[in-house]
């Protein structure tokens, strides 16, 4: 428990700093975790700029996919974005769900919530709200959401089983999620897995891909599939902050990989119990 709380405080501190930085500074860091590179790289982010509903002020360059692109959002849907940051995915989801729907952004960093609310006010959107809360205890009632999206955030949550259990609780029966996240194939060097900065940078906290998918299935979801997958290559000038040149070479030669995946899954429709002589026929 103490380790989990320490990790959460590390993430909260880092992402408070990020909320006050510009996008270019974030992109030259370890997924926004700090100034650990002398070059500007789009290590993980996908290009949002041509997506309907995109708002440049809400794009901090912290994502690792485009979950809203695959989320099958319909007009009138209730959409929840977990780890909503400055509101980028929420505003794109709002474009899809329209005036008759509702979008709720959840983030546990106060500075991000303030930034997102300010962006929403500028856009004069009345059906988008931002709530301060923890993904391990989502501040939303059960069976509320038609769609849940999240972009490069679940890897930062210490108890991922609990997080996916909460996602299951919040989704309506028959509803679904589309989540972009970072996973591993093979083991990272120990120096990276012990680095708090690389944890907040979305890498050290990532699970093995197989384990990640198992957690989703164990939470009760069905029709689980990977909608998109891409490798993430961390440049040497970032790795040199944590590893020696020899260790970097050994790491790359082992063929281990860091990947961004966008995962889709559905909450099953509740089955009615047999209540009479005819309902089981």
> Could you tell me if residue 277 is inside a domain?
no
Q: Kindly report, residue by residue over 183-232, the tens digit of the pLDDT.
A: 988 877 666 665 545 544 556 577 889 999 999 999 999 999 999 998 87
> Could you tell me if residue 281 is inside a domain?
no
* Closest of 245, 243, 228 to residue 67, by C-alpha: 228
Per DSSP, 171 falls in state E
Question: Residue 85 and residue 139: Cα distance in Å, rounded?
Answer: 16
SS3 call for 251: helix
For residue 34, pLDDT over 50 is answered with: no
Q: Which two tokens stand for residue 190?
A: 């120990």
Q: Kindly report, residue by residue over 233-249, the tens digit of the pLDDT.
A: 777 777 777 777 887 77
* Greater pLDDT, 19 or 30: 19
Question: Residue 14 and residue 53: Cα distance in Å, rounded?
Answer: 27
Instruction: Let me know the angle formed at the C-alpha of 34 by 226 and 228, rounded to the nearest 5 degrees.
Output: 10
Question: Residue 55 and residue 8: Cα distance in Å, rounded?
Answer: 28
CA 31 centroid distance within chain: 12
Total structural domains in the chain? 1
Q: Kindly report, residue by residue over 110-149, the tens digit of the pLDDT.
A: 999 999 999 999 999 999 999 999 999 999 999 999 999 9
| Average pLDDT across the chain, whole number | 82
Q: Which two tokens stand for residue 86?
A: 């400055």
* 273 phi/psi in degrees, rounded to 5: -75, 155
pLDDT for the residue 39 = 41
Residue 276: pLDDT band with limits 50, 70, 90: low
| CATH code of residue 246 | 3.40.50.150
The range of the structural domain enclosing residue 255 comes to 2-266
> Could you tell me if residue 67 is inside a domain?
yes
> Could you tell me if residue 66 is inside a domain?
yes
| Other beta carbons less than 10 A from residue 195's beta carbon | 21
> Could you tell me if residue 271 is inside a domain?
no
């Amino acid at each position: 428990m103490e380790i989990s709380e320490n990790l959460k405080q590390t993430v909260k501190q880092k992402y408070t700093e990020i909320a006050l930085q510009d996008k270019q500074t974030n992109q030259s860091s370890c997924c926004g975790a700090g100034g650990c590179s002398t070059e500007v790289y789009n290590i993980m982010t996908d290009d949002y700029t041509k997506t309907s509903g995109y708002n440049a002020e809400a794009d901090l360059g912290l994502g690792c996919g485009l979950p809203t692109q695959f989320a099958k959002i319909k007009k009138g849907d209730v959409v929840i974005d977990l780890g909503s940051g400055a509101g980028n995915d929420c505003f794109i989801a709002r474009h899809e769900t329209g005036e008759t729907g509702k979008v709720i952004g959840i983030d546990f960093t106060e500075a991000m919530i303030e930034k997102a609310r300010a962006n929403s006010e500028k856009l004069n959107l009345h059906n988008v709200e931002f709530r301060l809360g923890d993904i391990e205890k989502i501040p939303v009632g059960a069976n509320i959401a038609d769609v849940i999206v999240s972009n490069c955030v679940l890897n930062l949550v210490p108890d991922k089983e609990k997080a996916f259990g909460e996602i299951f609780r919040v989704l309506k029966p028959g509803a679904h999620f589309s989540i972009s996240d970072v996973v591993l194939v093979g083991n990272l060097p120990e120096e990276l897995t012990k680095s708090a900065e690389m944890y907040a940078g979305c890498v050290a906290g990532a699970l093995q891909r197989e384990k990640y998918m198992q957690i989703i299935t164990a939470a009760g979801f069905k029709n689980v599939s990977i909608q998109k997958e891409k490798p993430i290559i961390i440049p040497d000038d970032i790795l040199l902050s944590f590893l020696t040149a020899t260790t970097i070479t050994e790491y790359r030669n082992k063929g281990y990989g860091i990947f961004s995946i966008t995962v889709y899954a559905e909450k099953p429709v509740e089955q009615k119990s047999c209540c009479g002589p005819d309902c089981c026929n």
